[in-house]
Amino acid sequence: MSFFMKNVFSPAILACILISCTSNKLEDSDRVAHQGPALELAGSMMLHLDEYSTYEFFSHQVVNENGRELLCVLNKQNKSFDTYDLESGNLSKRFPIPSEGPYGISDPYAFLMAGRDSIFVFNQNSFKNTQLLNNEGALQASLTPDNMMTYKYGLNHYSLPNISSQLVGNKIYYGVVGFFDTSDPENFQNDMKLSGVYDLGTNHLEEMESFTFPKSYTNKGWSTYHAMFSWIKNNENDWVVSFHASDSLFVYDLDFQLKKSFSAKSQYVKEILPMKRNLDSEEHLRHAVQSGQYRRLLYDGYRACYYRIVVHPREFNQNEDKNSIAFNRSPFSIIKLNADMEVVSETRFQGSIYSIFTAFVSERGLCIPRTNYWNNEIEEEKIQIDIFI
């Protein structure tokens, strides 16, 4: 194992390091429409920003420390690890990501907080020089898998909240977004691997053979934006996976053996169809915008339920829809499912207000920041986060 200090950390020592509002009734001005027994707006919270803060919480994680709920954010602009107290809304801690020397990371991509003194910071497309930091930002170890060179074209582990990496025992489970032409049906065979494990004990990467695209994807070409998925790990240590073009949810055991699937179809999205080959990036975007997609899945362990976020289809605007930011303009809905994967409700939201990519679950409910790219009401010094239950 490649550490920043040779022979300082044995596997046993490394294992020790690793283990170590007011309720409001929904008003028309909130621009939320109900369909059936919908989510209710329970209140709001404010996060207070300073001159170094960012509202782009694309890599974030909620943790509980000494009875306080904290929102941890990888601040890519400032290259720092920022922690907010969700009760006060204040920044409680910030430390820089080590960037100097042979084990520094100059452009941190994502993180996984496995414990108070076990913060993994990842490079993009590689596990090389993964940093293990303590709660003060001090570098504890630099980790590089022994078989990293096997992935000579890189390993696009996602490791963001949509497909968050998870530490289970001494293994990091990660999802993979492949480097391939998604419109080529030959690339959607049963041998496409979508996840892997970084075993910290053996210092080895291993692909999960059993986790691939569902049958509805096989031998078809897809938009780049539909050849994606979102997953969560629930309290039973099962993975629940939502593929962007499938109206079903798939439940796997910890080793990604399929256990069962459930229908979780949106009333706002028709069947999402494959697309033709050899189309340019604009056509991929057009197809996805006009088709809609099942974009995110979140798990609420406090209330034993799931939230499936669905981006609705709309007309493509060639003048304004230039890249993935286009999906922020689309209306969306949230399908709530109970612990048995039964649909409880679907709540519709207008586009251009909320950031679905930075939504998170806290003890108070489903928290959705009003930090949409197209929202002209964003303030520089604070973030409003609406809470739904």
- Say how many residues make up the chain: 389
Taking the C-alpha atoms of residue 177 and residue 173, their distance in angstroms, rounded to an integer, is 14
List of domains in the chain: 11-20+24-388 (2.120.10.30)
Taking the C-alpha atoms of residue 325 and residue 175, their distance in angstroms, rounded to an integer, is 22
Taking the C-alpha atoms of residue 323 and residue 317, their distance in angstroms, rounded to an integer, is 11
List the one residue out of 373, 307, 366, 340 whose CA is nearest residue 58: 373
Span 80-130, pLDDT tens digits: 999 999 999 999 999 999 999 999 999 999 999 999 899 999 999 899 999
Taking the C-alpha atoms of residue 141 and residue 4, their distance in angstroms, rounded to an integer, is 6
Span 197-243, pLDDT tens digits: 999 999 999 999 999 999 999 999 999 999 999 999 999 999 999 99
Distant-in-sequence, close-in-space partners of 13: CB < 8 Å, separation ≥ 6: none
Span 282-329, pLDDT tens digits: 999 999 999 999 999 999 999 999 999 999 999 999 999 999 999 999
User: Can you give the pTM of this predicted structure?
Assistant: 0.91
Contact (CB, 8 A) for 231 and 241: yes
129, two tokens: 């020089």
Which H or E element spans position 291?
helix 281-291
Distance in Å from the first CA to the final CA of the chain: 45
